[in-house]
Chains A and B, each alone.
Chain A
């Protein structure tokens, strides 16, 4: 198929164009604020102040960032293989089951640092297992992974409500959630580090899972750009036919990529279930799986980009609650609007400004040809 767009210099293609797209998304969000009769500049100041202006705010921001890093990486890894994993929400939900089972089984007997590795394994394994079926169906039976992962999100939601209500809930409780984990099932928060920065308020929810998220981002970078598997994943993402012709098993790569993606999504529960809430609850994922789509698109599927985008969405989530408190006209739904606008402009409309930028920056054709690139 003909490529309708002129080739842009590298820095424009991976730097300027995505930045323009995201900025336009935020400008449109600003217009929504104006439409609601508020000052967008004031709103932005409240939002950023609420997210970064206090120790507690920053702690919550980093807590959200941790969650979005996991789901963003999950979507990003799949993107590299040309797969669109919309199922992060369901995979994270089922991952929570794995984490909770590990905690419930071990927390009376051992300290948290023994439970934690088991919880990581269980969360990742359960998340991966939930991605395995759509992966297998895509690889072997040709059913579209977007549709199957959407369906699996809904199936996960029903399954988890069923399990929580009928099996996991303590018999005496009316609340559809597990019992509270004891200390052996809770990872410590970063309060100790926090007091160094002079925070006085109660412990913010960011916990040591934050470092696991950073390590996962580094791991994904290693995987994608420094291993044979990563090379095969990228090759398949660029051109499945060519990859197949080169002797890469697209069946294997599809399944392995989705297992990694599901495992990353499943690890989200470490941050929320084990790091903050201390029990498995209904709908604890709360849309973080979908935020991962925006994060991966905005971060251009690169781990560094994902971390930055996750931080931005962390700021939005934390700052958004503060903002809605101060400016009642701007409710927390504004966050979802911004998320949608980022997905729209950084994803679906990514070519909107390409012709304009091409007119400004495109190399003259004769300069490109001899280079052979």
Chain B
């Protein structure tokens, strides 16, 4: 493979990792607070739909992409609040709630899109002005002739939509929030031992709701990226399992933000190479694309089995907290 192919594969790795990374960090906040969330897929899908609808509605006023982003975040938070209500306030089964949200998203978004737009479940194609467009980083045109570094800066790092940079910036921010703020300390504590947090006079319910809402915001951005940055409209089930790959990445990263970046880049890379590998043999062996597609899941199972290190989830994850009276 020559450098052009490598560069294009890495470029699409960044693009394909973005929704995974946002969704993975979304899950990180929720699960670190002790609320398991397998409904990220559904939240992303809801958000993608919200983004598609709002961007279509506001496209004439010239702020389509921003309206889309705001709508996506709102919808994501609403879905997250539903999950929070079921699993924090009602002390319901968090897995069941996640499953419900996933199906609600698949059904409701397709149902509404078909009824409103009559385009087989898609929202109308958006013009470029109503989407998040590629941003050329400063000096990208100046340094593009510099060997290697110029290629990396101008060809790889520059020329993505704003949301890609937001996703990658969210990693250090999350690290800082988690390990350098009071909120982060409490968040980690409430996922391990909520009774201790409660004893210290801090509201478990409030902490968990904040975590779940941050999860909604990040899932919302992920959904907006899918509908109005990567594509130009919403399509039924357009998340296509990305929420679950993000979940796998979260386990792979052992619920830590910086490893999450690595895991999402790895899974994004696998997605990016699956397409060229369909036509091009690797070391003389034709790798079936299905094998590459399944690899994130296989790797996660192998990791969960404890063959590559040990993935230990937050101790209080999945357990509703009941205050002793």
- Whether A147 lies near B96 (C-beta < 8 A) is no
Partner of B322, one of A4, A335, A337: A4
Most chain A beta-carbon neighbours within 10 Å: one of B82, B87, B290: B290
A: interface residue count bin: 35 or more
Residues of B near A121 (CB, < 8 A) are none
Q: For the complex, would chain B's binding face be called helix, strand, loop or mixed by DSSP majority?
A: helix
Is A329 close to B, CB under 8 A? yes
- Whether A351 lies near B90 (C-beta < 8 A) is yes
Residues of A near B248 (CB, < 8 A) are 147, 151
- Whether B291 lies near A154 (C-beta < 8 A) is no
| Nearest-CB residue, chain B, relative to A150 | B244
The complex places the Cα of A134 from the Cα of B278 at a distance, in Å, of 30
Is B297 close to A, CB under 8 A? yes
Chain A interfacial positions (CB closer than 8 Å to B): 1-4, 32, 36, 84, 86, 133, 137, 141-144, 146-148, 150-152, 154-155, 158-159, 161-162, 165-166, 290, 293, 297, 329-331, 333-341, 343-344, 347-352
Residues of B near A330 (CB, < 8 A) are 111, 115
The complex places the Cα of A3 from the Cα of B91 at a distance, in Å, of 11
Which residues of B105-156 have CB atoms within 8 Å of chain A's CB atoms? 106-108, 110-112, 114-115, 121
Q: For the complex, would chain A's binding face be called helix, strand, loop or mixed by DSSP majority?
A: helix
Which residues of B133-184 have CB atoms within 8 Å of chain A's CB atoms? none
| Nearest-CB residue, chain A, relative to B120 | A331
Residues of A near B38 (CB, < 8 A) are 146, 150
Residues of A near B322 (CB, < 8 A) are 1-4
- Whether A340 lies near B294 (C-beta < 8 A) is no
| Nearest-CB residue, chain B, relative to A324 | B114
The complex places the Cα of A150 from the Cα of B297 at a distance, in Å, of 9
Residues of B near A341 (CB, < 8 A) are 100, 104
Count: A-B pairs, CB below 8 Å: 154
- Whether A137 lies near B111 (C-beta < 8 A) is no
Which residues of B76-97 have CB atoms within 8 Å of chain A's CB atoms? 82, 85-87, 90-97
- Whether A144 lies near B304 (C-beta < 8 A) is yes
The complex places the Cα of A334 from the Cα of B108 at a distance, in Å, of 7
- Whether B96 lies near A343 (C-beta < 8 A) is yes
Residues of A near B236 (CB, < 8 A) are 333
Is B288 close to A, CB under 8 A? yes
Residues of B near A155 (CB, < 8 A) are 294, 297-298, 301
Nearest-neighbour CB distance to chain A for B307, whole angstroms, equals 9
Q: Contacts A340-B107, A347-B97 hold; do A329 and B297 have CB atoms under 8 A apart?
A: no
Residues of B near A1 (CB, < 8 A) are 322
Q: Which 5 A-B pairs have the closest CB atoms?
A: A336-B107, A348-B97, A143-B304, A340-B103, A158-B294
Is B305 close to A, CB under 8 A? yes
Given A162-B291, A337-B111, 9 other A-B contacts at CB below 8 A?
A143-B311, A148-B304, A154-B244, A293-B96, A333-B108, A337-B108, A340-B104, A347-B99, A349-B97
Nearest-neighbour CB distance to chain B for A27, whole angstroms, equals 15
Nearest-neighbour CB distance to chain B for A37, whole angstroms, equals 8
The complex places the Cα of A4 from the Cα of B205 at a distance, in Å, of 15
- Whether B306 lies near A344 (C-beta < 8 A) is no
Residues of A near B85 (CB, < 8 A) are 349
Nearest-neighbour CB distance to chain A for B310, whole angstroms, equals 9
- Whether B290 lies near A333 (C-beta < 8 A) is no
| Nearest-CB residue, chain A, relative to B110 | A333
The complex places the Cα of A161 from the Cα of B305 at a distance, in Å, of 25
- Whether A141 lies near B90 (C-beta < 8 A) is no
Partner of B306, one of A32, A141, A151, A329: A141
Nearest-neighbour CB distance to chain A for B279, whole angstroms, equals 15
Residues of B near A333 (CB, < 8 A) are 106-108, 110-111, 114, 121, 236
The complex places the Cα of A158 from the Cα of B101 at a distance, in Å, of 24
Nearest-neighbour CB distance to chain A for B36, whole angstroms, equals 8
Q: Contacts A137-B305, A143-B305, A348-B90 hold; do A151 and B107 have CB atoms under 8 A apart?
A: no
- Whether A331 lies near B100 (C-beta < 8 A) is no
- Whether B107 lies near A339 (C-beta < 8 A) is yes
Is B241 close to A, CB under 8 A? yes
Residues of B near A137 (CB, < 8 A) are 301, 304-305
- Whether A148 lies near B301 (C-beta < 8 A) is yes
- Whether B91 lies near A351 (C-beta < 8 A) is yes
